[in-house]
Amino acid sequence: MVSKHMIRTLMIETPTVPGNLGKVATAIGLVGADIGEVETVKVGPTYTMRNITVQVETEEQLNEIITAIEGLEEGIKLHTVSDEVLSAHEGGKIAMKSKMPIKSLAELRRVYTPGVADVCSLIEREPDKAEIYTTINNSVAIVTDGTAILGLGNIGPVAGMPVMEGKAALFDQLAGISGVPILLDTTDPEEIIRTVKNIAPGFGGILLEDIGSPHCFEVEDRLKEELNIPVMHDDQHGTAVVTLAAAISACKSAGIDLKEAKVGQIGLGAAGVAICRMFMAYGVQAVYGTDKSEMAMNRLKEYGGQTSSNIEELMETCDIVIATTGVPGLIKKEFVRSGQVILALSNPRPEIEPEVALEAGAAYAADGRSVNNVLGFPGIFRGALNAKSKVVNHEMLVAAAEAIASCTKHGDLVPDPLQPEVHEKVAEEVERIARRVYVGV
């Protein structure tokens, strides 16, 4: 659940006197910005130099921070403002490299012509041998048409390439999978479907990414029907997996039986509908949703969910409320019922601040800062590829959510997304289900 924001790094010098760092932090906080990392880069005889990362929503807010820091007492100095995010993306974040050295004619002949002809002939005779002698079974196409890039909207596939590269980097580092960005210069569902089907022989799976609603539903459904490799739309099912995991953990902390509770979803876009479907697949009997779009409400009904006419009705009815609208402050304090669990997942500003929800009587409340799809998709595909599954379905996805929840410490919403054991556990559970249901092992 990501919205548009900017990250900047401020290099700030403070006199070595207790309280000066606090003054800087207070100045940043009063402007309404979030502080990320604080790194000490140099300790001098009378001063300390630090890099402080801040997250802001606009250039105007950044300028307010600069003015506030420059207005602090003498000795506190702002030296530089840098965009380290842009620097990190220079030249792109991924590369295709050879796994084998080619430093002699003998190695060249083995890797390429004439030796490679023997391998091609073998695969022609026995197509299954491609799993052994090519990278196909360990490669996933990351496909986008650029119509729903993060919280930025329809900015086009090329502008979305940094996101696709990020997904590829995470696939590699967290699951050992080769992710290949595929940018489509079309938003027509039929063209998208046809193109993905035509490139599918080169991949072991398809991850649909940042494809807008409503055409994302048709694209995913058709590709699942017409391809014999795993297909998943991450904005739908990746988000839903991590949200279900977060709800399982939140209910444990609040002492609520999730399957017996009434769950309400505010916002029925791609993620919202998928969240409802995921909760129903988990075994929740009463799942309600609300949205301004009648089409979205009807889609939820088609999948077996129930609808509420407005937010107030949903808040009155449901024990657990999830919001993915991107509208800050949408849930009013007076809507909150005592004992509710509220997960307002829009970033950087949630539908209701957790502190406000708790003050109003919520048993548990959290925002979406820690709810990241990276907890799901690498392990889900690792498990599916290991099992040679032809699908990713709800039973596998529920297993992934339960695996994430099992790795979550009591009181936390989800685990650290960079913990290797989380992705290993997700992969193990997804593979177990895939082998049992689809491979027959």
Run of H or E including 291: none
Amino acid letter, 44: G
Active site residue 288: no
Structure tokens at 352: 């209701």
Listed in sequence order, the DSSP H helices in 256-406 are: 270-282, 294-302, 311-317, 354-359, 377-386, 394-406
Name the catalytic one among 112, 133, 292, 303. 112
Name the catalytic one among 4, 77, 103, 167. 167
138 neighbors 172 (Cβ within 8 angstroms): no
The DSSP letter of residue 367 is E
For residues 398 and 414, give the distance between their C-alpha atoms in angstroms, rounded to a whole number.
15
404 neighbors 245 (Cβ within 8 angstroms): yes
271 neighbors 235 (Cβ within 8 angstroms): yes
- Phi and psi for 6 in degrees, rounded to 5? -125, 145
Cis peptide before 114 (omega within 30 of 0): yes
For residues 170 and 243, give the distance between their C-alpha atoms in angstroms, rounded to a whole number.
19
Active site residue 129: no
Amino acid letter, 347: N
Q: Which residues pair with 142 in a beta bridge?
A: 181, 207
Query: Strand 262-266's sheet: what is its strand order?
Result: 306-307, 286-290, 262-266, 320-323, 341-344, 364-367
Amino acid letter, 13: E
Q: Active-site residues: which are they?
A: 112, 167
